[in-house]
A and B are shown apart, each in its own frame.
Chain A
Amino acid sequence: MKNSWREALIGLCLAALPVAAMFVLVVLPAFEGLRFSLGYVPGDNPAYSTGSHLVTSSTPTLEVYRTLLSSPFVQADLRLTLTVTLFTVLLILLVGYSLALLVRFGPGRLGAAVRSLYLIPMFVPVVIAAYAFITLYGSRGWLDALLHHVGIGYRSPIYGIPGIVMGLVWSHLPFATLLLGSGLDALPEEQVEAARDSGAGFLSILWRIILPLNLTPTMIVAAFSGISVLGSYTVPALLGPNAPQMVGVAMEQYFGAYRQPQGAVALAMITFALAAAIGALYVWGISRTRRHG
């Protein structure tokens, strides 16, 4: 039994490295932030103690959250964030599935072409993607010009909710398609063939066989994209309306423009609570397929 003790000790030491890094770089700062948002203002921290609208208290108080959540602006921000997250995740699944299905079941050349295209957004920095979207879809952009020649009126979606959604879908597509595609590759070929032989159409195969068997990857993609979209910054900072804003951008404004670090940190906590709910869903999803430990 000496060996298993040694193994446990070595295992713990090795695993401790990333856990410790995560603790110092994320958990500790997050905990500091939580205390700050509950009214504990550290005097030795100028970034915190020089903020305006500070709530200072020796006992934990939810005052900051109360003020924040009762503001109609913040409410609008949160509503916008949830709307964008919902639509973005749905569209990521829809487009991601279209691409993954084309690669898996599309005619040979087509599948290969799609396969070499869909990875591109992964390699383009997000700030560039957002900028490219403005040049294409913006008012007086390329699409505007094209439709002008055809004689169709165009109102640019880029500074509205659709602009944010489009940008976020674009940047999350490679990840989603890769994961969904891997799930499809693992599908038993015979089952699909059998259904096809018995005369089932593509849609009913999709609905009755492919989607149920590919549920886990679908949930994983939904959860990861959801968390990432919730806290996203670059795309909603460059695209979308000036107000209301996604919470990621609102946080930055609270910290920078309004000089209210406490509000910024509290917003981060609220977003984290939402992300944690999605994360719990993910953990439940993978614990059904894979057991670690």
Chain B
Amino acid sequence: MQPVRRLEAVWFMRVPQMRRALLWILVLALGFFLLMPLLTLVLWAFADVWRYPSLLPQMYSLKWWNWVFHNGNLGKSALWSFTTAPVVVLLAWVICLPAAYAFSRLNFPGKRFFFVALLAADSFPRFGIYISVATLFFQWGLIGNYWGVVLVQLINVIVTMTWIPTAGFDGVPRELEEAARDSGANPLQVFWRVTLPLALPSILVASILAFLSAFDEAQGTLVVGAPDITTLPVLMYSLVANYPEPVGAVFSILLSIPNLLLLIFARRILLSGYLAAGFGVR
């Protein structure tokens, strides 16, 4: 074992006040790193004139909000975003949740292989897939098509929607199911009344992550959906490149609002360990 070397600076750590100060510096630095980019963006969204090196805008206005709201593309893109992402989640439920139950509760050959194979497929670099998928979709008439976009966004959520609920079903105590069965419930009733409600939090966590991933997806959507289907993140790419700072900032805030509402709603459940269980922690 390596002897612990006593450095000169150690005395510093022995003084409680110093230690507390160090802790607070660390926290402030982390807070700055996490939040400051977003705060700057909020300032930009309300700035009319903001010249370097002023720390705050010289003049505020809402004119860029007006501009963004009167840009016809916003409504169209929002519509595409909110009609694709939720459908991706629904489709993922249909495809993945029965499988999650099977992975957790049934014995069948190749179980572990299939479970891990999902991850193997998932680690293929996205853009390589999108190029090839686009040529397949072209043959199937799915380019510039609503379902093409849904399918391309689905790629990123399959593993999440299978793995996390599998851990959720794993976490339902078998004794509870057996007790329900002993008191006369049939297997289907046991599933609906006992198993599913107890696994629901993990399904919710997976759904939140799936929604975020689908909502955030831009690269595949651009490749498959162009030119007709532009979701909000796709529009954001062109706005960032072609318009002054406030436009991107206003748009960013608009694009973040639904997600931040989701965050407030989902915070507790996300913090309760279902995500970690899905990825094999514990």
A residues sitting closer than 8 Å to B (CB atoms) are: 4, 7-12, 14-19, 21-23, 25-30, 32-33, 44-48, 95, 98-99, 102, 106, 110, 113-129, 131-133, 135-137, 140-142, 144-146, 148-149, 166, 170, 173, 175, 178-179, 181-183, 185-186, 201, 204, 216-217, 220, 224, 227, 230-231, 233-234, 238, 247-248, 251-252, 255, 261, 264-265, 267-269, 271-272, 275-276, 278-279, 282-283, 285-286, 289-293
* Proximity string of chain B (110-140) to chain A, C-beta cutoff 8 Å, 1 when within and 0 when not: 1111111111111111111101111110110
Any chain A CB within 8 A of the CB of B95? yes
Any chain A CB within 8 A of the CB of B48? no
- B262-A123 in contact (CB<8A): yes
Residues of B within 8 Å of A19, CB to CB, are: 99, 114, 117-118
Contact partner, A29, options B13, B133, B249, Cβ 8 Å: B133
- B98-A14 in contact (CB<8A): yes
Residues of B within 8 Å of A183, CB to CB, are: 276, 281-282
Residues of A within 8 Å of B99, CB to CB, are: 14-19
- A234-B102 in contact (CB<8A): no
Residues of A within 8 Å of B44, CB to CB, are: 135
CA of A98 to CA of B34, assembled, Å: 13
- B124-A264 in contact (CB<8A): no
Contacts A19-B117, A114-B27, A283-B119 given; indicate if A144 touches B33 (C-beta within 8 A).
Answer: no
Contacts A125-B255, A178-B276, A275-B125 given; indicate if A217 touches B281 (C-beta within 8 A).
Answer: yes
Any chain A CB within 8 A of the CB of B67? no
Q: 14 other contacts beyond A18-B158, A224-B279, A233-B219, with CB at 8 A cut-off? A: A17-B98, A18-B96, A26-B155, A48-B135, A126-B216, A131-B236, A135-B245, A142-B36, A145-B52, A183-B281, A252-B127, A271-B125, A275-B125, A279-B120
Contacts A14-B101, A30-B124 given; indicate if A182 touches B282 (C-beta within 8 A).
Answer: yes
Contact partner, B121, options A26, A32, A255, Cβ 8 Å: A26
B132 to A, closest residue via Cβ: A29
Give the distance to chain B from A260, nearest Cβ to Cβ, in Å: 11
B residues sitting closer than 8 Å to A (CB atoms) are: 4, 13, 23, 26-27, 30-31, 33-38, 40-41, 43-44, 52-55, 94-96, 98-99, 101-103, 106-129, 131-136, 138-139, 151-152, 154-155, 158, 161-162, 212, 215-216, 218-219, 232-233, 236-237, 240, 245, 248-249, 252, 255-256, 259-260, 262-263, 267, 270-271, 273, 275-277, 279-282
Contact partner, A178, options B41, B54, B138, B270, Cβ 8 Å: B270
A102 to B, closest residue via Cβ: B27
Residues of A within 8 Å of B38, CB to CB, are: 120, 124, 132
Residues of B within 8 Å of A10, CB to CB, are: 102, 106, 108
- B126-A231 in contact (CB<8A): yes
A179 to B, closest residue via Cβ: B276
- A121-B123 in contact (CB<8A): no
- A18-B256 in contact (CB<8A): no
- B34-A117 in contact (CB<8A): yes
Give the distance to chain B from A258, nearest Cβ to Cβ, in Å: 13
Contacts A22-B118, A144-B52 given; indicate if A12 touches B110 (C-beta within 8 A).
Answer: yes
- A95-B30 in contact (CB<8A): yes
CA of A7 to CA of B54, assembled, Å: 69
CA of A42 to CA of B111, assembled, Å: 35
A266 to B, closest residue via Cβ: B128
- B240-A127 in contact (CB<8A): yes
Contact partner, A238, options B94, B95, B240, Cβ 8 Å: B240
Contact partner, B41, options A29, A119, A131, A292, Cβ 8 Å: A131
Contact partner, B255, options A7, A122, A128, A275, Cβ 8 Å: A128
Contacts A12-B110, A14-B106, A252-B127 given; indicate if A120 touches B279 (C-beta within 8 A).
Answer: no
- A131-B30 in contact (CB<8A): no
Residues of A within 8 Å of B30, CB to CB, are: 95, 98-99, 102, 114
Give the distance to chain B from A166, nearest Cβ to Cβ, in Å: 8
CA of A260 to CA of B280, assembled, Å: 40
CA of A83 to CA of B4, assembled, Å: 31
Which of the listed residues A10, A18, A95, A102 has the most CB atoms from chain B within 10 Å of its own CB?
A18
- A25-B154 in contact (CB<8A): yes
A141 to B, closest residue via Cβ: B40
CA of A121 to CA of B270, assembled, Å: 13
Give the distance to chain B from A187, nearest Cβ to Cβ, in Å: 11
- B108-A7 in contact (CB<8A): yes
Residues of A within 8 Å of B123, CB to CB, are: 227, 272, 275-276, 278-279
- B95-A45 in contact (CB<8A): no
A-B pairs, top 4 by smallest CB distance, nearest first, are A268-B128, A11-B108, A182-B276, A29-B132
Residues of B within 8 Å of A126, CB to CB, are: 216
CA of A21 to CA of B88, assembled, Å: 13
Residues of B within 8 Å of A47, CB to CB, are: 131, 134-135, 138
Residues of B within 8 Å of A142, CB to CB, are: 36, 40, 43, 55
Residues of B within 8 Å of A124, CB to CB, are: 38, 256, 259
Contact partner, A290, options B113, B121, B262, B280, Cβ 8 Å: B280
- A32-B136 in contact (CB<8A): yes
Residues of A within 8 Å of B245, CB to CB, are: 135
